[in-house]
Amino acid sequence: MQPFSAILFDLDGTLVDTAPDLAFALNSLLQEEGLETLSYTDIRPVASHGSAGLLGLGFGITTEHRDYPSLQQRFLQLYQDNIARETTLFEGMEEVISALEQANISWGVVTNKPAFLTEPLMDALELTDRAACIVSADTTPFTKPHPAPMLHACELINLPPEQCLYIGDAARDIEAGKNANMRTITALYGYLGAQDHPENWQADSSINHPHDILQWI
């Protein structure tokens, strides 16, 4: 794979390990509702799927359930209040983004996390001023796997998608990158569960550790 002018990252499960704080928020809500908490092992594979996935895991409900809106509101509040309690960059990712910066290769974030959560998290981790672009779920009218967020990121960094590499840990990430005509990499170290089959996602490559990104710099 040839070198790229920019590398774009999914946020949860790719750039940043948010699962501990998402698990804390979900288990706090379960406790409030008088229910048994879940193990981190059970929660981690669902961490990339947002409140719908996590509330589905914890409460066995869909977004159509009558209690979903109130549970979601409380879950998001608990998460927002603890958004950087244990969240960190994945091991090795600081070295990766530092190498990108030293090589004058732009890097940014395209996530399905809403801006009211994305922005304070990026601020807390002191990444906001370092990223060339931050595209959240509500930045454009569409979310991944639609190509609109990806193409908007390209506009912000003033590069064509063909010069960008997108890295994510979910099928929608790879689909979004492909829909935008970017090259794609699956982050196998992310939040993949037994139901995921990344070998079928048709990414251009896959990596087991953030350090593997360095070979394309």
pLDDT bucket at 1, cuts 50 / 70 / 90: low
The pLDDT tens digits for 121-159 are 999 999 999 999 999 999 999 999 999 999 999 999 999
Q: Is the pLDDT of residue 2 over 70?
A: no
Share of the chain above pLDDT 70, in %: 99
Tokens of 217: 């710099």
The pLDDT tens digits for 58-107 are 999 999 999 999 999 999 999 999 999 999 999 999 999 999 999 999 99
Q: Is the pLDDT of residue 217 over 90?
A: no
Is 196 one of the catalytic residues?
A: no
Q: Place domain 6-17+88-216 in its CATH homologous superfamily.
A: HAD superfamily/HAD-like (3.40.50.1000)
Is 10 one of the catalytic residues?
A: yes
Q: What is the pLDDT of residue 216?
A: 81
Closest CA to 119 of 138, 146, 141, 91: 138
How does the average pLDDT of the chain come out, rounded? 97
pLDDT bucket at 3, cuts 50 / 70 / 90: confident
CA 46, 50, 52 angle in degrees (round to 5)?
Answer: 90
Q: Which of 10, 21, 169, 212 is catalytic?
A: 10
User: Cα–Cα distance between 215 and 134 in angstroms, integer?
Assistant: 24
Strand locations in the chain (E): 6-9, 16-17, 88-89, 106-110, 133-135, 164-168, 183-187, 205-207
Tokens of 64: 């159509």
Q: What stretch of H or E contains 183?
A: strand 183-187
User: Cα–Cα distance between 66 and 173 in angstroms, integer?
Assistant: 30
User: Cα–Cα distance between 206 and 127 in angstroms, integer?
Assistant: 24
Closest CA to 5 of 98, 96, 100: 100
Handedness of CA 38, 64, 176, 112 (dihedral sign): negative
Residues ≥6 apart with Cβ < 8 Å to 146: 176, 179
Q: How many residues does the chain have?
A: 217
